[in-house]
Amino acid sequence: YISRHTNLLQSDDKILHIAPEQSIRRVLKKQTNLKYTTADLKSPIADIHFDVMDIPLEDNSFDVIFCNHVLEHVDNDITAMKELHRILKPGGWAVMQVPLNWDLETTFEDFSITSPAEREKVFGQYDHVRWHGRDYPQRIESVGFKVEEFKVLDFYSIKEMEYYRIDINEKMFVAFKN
């Protein structure tokens, strides 16, 4: 998406990358034109540390935010998305991928499930606290974003998807702040 659908790599945008994936981090870190900051709750490789539900950064600070596979881990994903919306500049965009359960019409949460073993059984991973359902784009929009949906197949060939182990049915939601 970044290289095939945006001019990000040629811009001087200010980017926040939360829980940075190493493959993306390596590419963006090399771009000297970008103002690139990584963040995480605990990771020693992150530039800054914070809880995504209480971000200690100024309003309208970033042009682009990447926050992939984070929201299924936090106690309140809506609060986290509100914080991301707050720190994103008007006209900015964010990618907030989560594991989606397409069998669920609405997002499933059960905060009585606290043991790692039970969470793994119910949510598919020991540290997940919800399954996002087909309502995920509406959840993003509920905090003020406009969402565009893309099929990952629009950006990658079948061969590339097999190489990167991307599900052929994967969808990507890009959130824009007006």
Q: What is the pLDDT of residue 103?
A: 96
Contact 139, 81 (CB under 8 A): yes
Q: What is the pLDDT of residue 44?
A: 95
Percent helix, strand, coil in the chain (nearest 5)?
30, 25, 45
How far apart, in whole angstroms, are the C-alpha atoms of residue 140 and residue 18?
Answer: 17
Residue 131 neighbours by CB under 8 Å, 6+ apart: 72, 99, 101, 104, 107, 108, 123, 124
- Mean pLDDT per 10-residue segment, the chain (178 residues): 83 96 91 96 97 99 97 98 99 96 97 98 98 98 97 85 82 95
- Per DSSP, helices labelled H in 50-105 are 77-87
Q: Cα torsion for 156, 106, 81, 97, to the nearest 10°?
A: -20
Query: Which tokens belong to 169?
Result: 């049915």
Three-point CA angle 134, 67, 48, nearest 5°: 155
Q: What is the pLDDT of residue 165?
A: 79
> What domains can you pick out in the chain, each with its CATH number?
2-100+134-176 (3.40.50.150)
95 strand-pairing partners: 66, 174
How far apart, in whole angstroms, are the C-alpha atoms of residue 71 and residue 74?
Answer: 5
Q: What is the pLDDT of residue 70?
A: 98
Q: What is the pLDDT of residue 5?
A: 80
Q: What is the pLDDT of residue 162?
A: 87
Q: What is the pLDDT of residue 25?
A: 93
DSSP 8-state class, residue 156: S
Q: What is the pLDDT of residue 152?
A: 83
Q: What is the pTM of this model?
A: 0.92
Backbone angles phi, psi at 10, to 5 degrees: -100, 0
Query: Which residue from 20, 14, 6 is spatially nearest to 34, judged by alpha carbons?
Result: 14
